[in-house]
Amino acid sequence: MLPLLLLLSHRPPPPDAWWAGLDPASLQAPADGVHALRVPPGGRARVAGGTFLMGSTPTQMAHGIALCEREIGASECHDPDLIAFIRAEGAAHRVTISTFDLDRTEVTVGDYGRCVSAGACSAAELSPDDARFSRPDFPITHVRWEDAVTYCAWAGGRLPTEAEWEFAARGVAGREYPWGDVYNPYLANHGAAATDRTDATDGFVGLAPVGSFPDGATPLGILDMAGNVSEWVADLLERDPRNHGYPVPYDDAPVTDPKPKTAGGGFHVVRGGSYRDAAMWLRSAARADTFSLRPASVGFRCAADVR
């Protein structure tokens, strides 16, 4: 048997010895180096009213062309139709927007399905077994513009105007992209200017669950305003039948809370670019429309008036 003195010398330290000298306990701790899995916030963000420069300056339009020229499909960057859409971003003009609310995320398959189950919305034209589009956390696609209008009314809102959408994406600072002024291919689910328009370098070949790119959100936390799906807005894209049916640029006069354009022979405007669109279409000022009634790369989010 070991002597008692030797046994005592090998006893464990008193139970409070391990925390001696540490800082006082706190309910908070620095998060340096911690990467938490963030659940995308639901609901709507309040977009405080303000004045911004809507559309693009000649320098910004040239930047859009330069983005295109960096890609493998650079030969198409001076196609007359593409140039016409770039020119439709002019003229840059001052727009004042009143405060409104905007969905933080694109409306999901699950969201839209509840409206269908309630008998208020028409079913999307897609198979529930099609894993490319039917996951409940994917943005809803294969719906008409009219279906988007119906859903937003059912959800207590409306489609945003083109001006509201751009203001939410750019803010009063006039950001080139929802996250800032520098393009980053890892902040959005985008495509490519190539024969194969999909691009998996961002982590997704096709659609991504809404909110998959939290670092690409606006300062207000509005997600996926660039990429994933393009988004229906309330306006028609005005086209000029005397000029090959090309889209008509903005007037340069200042305007306050512009009403949606509802005439002009165009198709409904889509904004933000999709998983099939190259970098130039992810700019906050980029404008497009679609010939498809139920496109596979177009969804929507809802706005609401502040009461």
Confidence of residue 292 (pLDDT cuts 50, 70, 90): confident
In order of their start, the domains of the chain are: 45-305 (3.90.1580.10)
pLDDT bucket at 58, cuts 50 / 70 / 90: very high
pLDDT at residue 42, as a whole number: 58
Report helix angle 80-87 to 58-69, nearest 10: 140
**H-assigned helices in the chain:** 4-9, 58-69, 80-87, 109-117, 145-154, 162-170
Quick one: average pLDDT of 53-66? 96
Whether residue 7 has pLDDT greater than 60: no
Average pLDDT over residues 209-237: 97
Q: Please count the other Cβ atoms lying within 10 Å of the Cβ belonging to residue 62.
A: 12
Asked if residues 220 and 44 have their Cβ atoms less than 8 Å apart, the reply is no
Please compute the mean of the pLDDT values over residues 110-134 and round it to a whole number.
96
Q: Is the pLDDT of residue 39 over 70?
A: no
pLDDT of residue 20: 44
